Amino acid sequence: MKNTKNKARILIDCTDAKGLVYLVSKIFFQRGLNIDNNQEFVDKESGKFFMRTVVSGDFNANDLKTELGRVLPSHANLKLVIPKKKKIVLLVTKESHALGDILIRHSAGELDATIQAVIGNHKTLEELVSRFDIPFYFVSAQGITRSEHERLIMDAINHYHFDFLVLAKYMRILTENFVSCYDKKIINIHHSFLPAFIGANPYKQAFERGVKIIGATAHFVTSDLDEGPIIAQNIIPVNHRFDWRDMQRAGRDVEKSVLSRALSLVLNDRVFIHENKTVVF
């Protein structure tokens, strides 16, 4: 893999130590690479170091990675990514707004990903997806157990090599078993400003509580429901004139923009997961 005047995103996280920036930047300098972008962060509490550098120039990716690995502590996580479109699979239920926003971006070439397929536990969105010539799989959950249903979904999606599985308003809870098969690869949009209104029907909960602001949260899915690392959040004001369906309607615009923002961040390798949090450069 020889790249002439190419770019690489280099992601490092490890225990903080003196000289890390020096040791890494020395390699870039000696190889004559440009640093197009560089961000670092040290988490004081855990003493962990995070670095994301975009370099450009003439390099062999494997060699560069090997050399970087040599100067880093042995426990360090090191990724060298050559920027290109990633692959994603979407899980949906009935609501079209989050899916639709992603389809439009995809169709305009603005999404840094190729949508491999869309899986729905209802047929509702089949027509919309087919308008964009993207495979849609209807995997009904009727009359079968949750595990059986997930097994069928896995059968459908495991055809594809994908980087991320995006829950674009997929309204079923995933089992720990399913989640563990796609560790740090599942991204969900939750229709509340987490950790407020965990669980079912957050808009009804928000309405009952009489809040003046509602929100949405994009996060990685872990085995703890609604407790995974948060990638992005946003809100909009509401008032007493909003019943819970109005809140739901208003919330859709936030949901779709937060999910798209989070997707853009992960697709550009800007997100580190650190325990139950994210570092977003």
What does the binding site for its own copies look like in residue numbers (CB under 8 A)?
Answer: 18-19, 21-23, 25-26, 28-29, 32-45, 96-97, 100-101, 103-105, 107-108, 110, 128, 131-132, 193-197, 209-213, 215, 229-235, 239-241, 243, 249, 253, 257, 260, 276-280
* CA–centroid distance for 53 within its chain: 20
Burial 110-138 (b: 16+ CB within 10 A, else e): ebbbebbbbbbbbeebeebbeeeebebbe
Element (H, E) at 249: helix 244-267
Taking the least distance from each CB to its own copies, the nearer of 149 and 252 is 252
Active site residue 226: yes
Taking the least distance from each CB to its own copies, the nearer of 89 and 125 is 125
Element (H, E) at 61: helix 61-71
The residue type of 214 is I
Taking the least distance from each CB to its own copies, the nearer of 117 and 153 is 117
Among 224, 226, 243, 269, the one annotated catalytic: 226
Which pair of structure tokens corresponds to residue 46?
A: 């855990």
| Shortest Cβ 217–its own copies spacing (Å) | 8
Question: Three-state SS for 84?
Answer: coil
Taking the least distance from each CB to its own copies, the nearer of 150 and 255 is 255
| Shortest Cβ 163–its own copies spacing (Å) | 21
* CA–centroid distance for 150 within its chain: 20
Residues known to be catalytic = 226
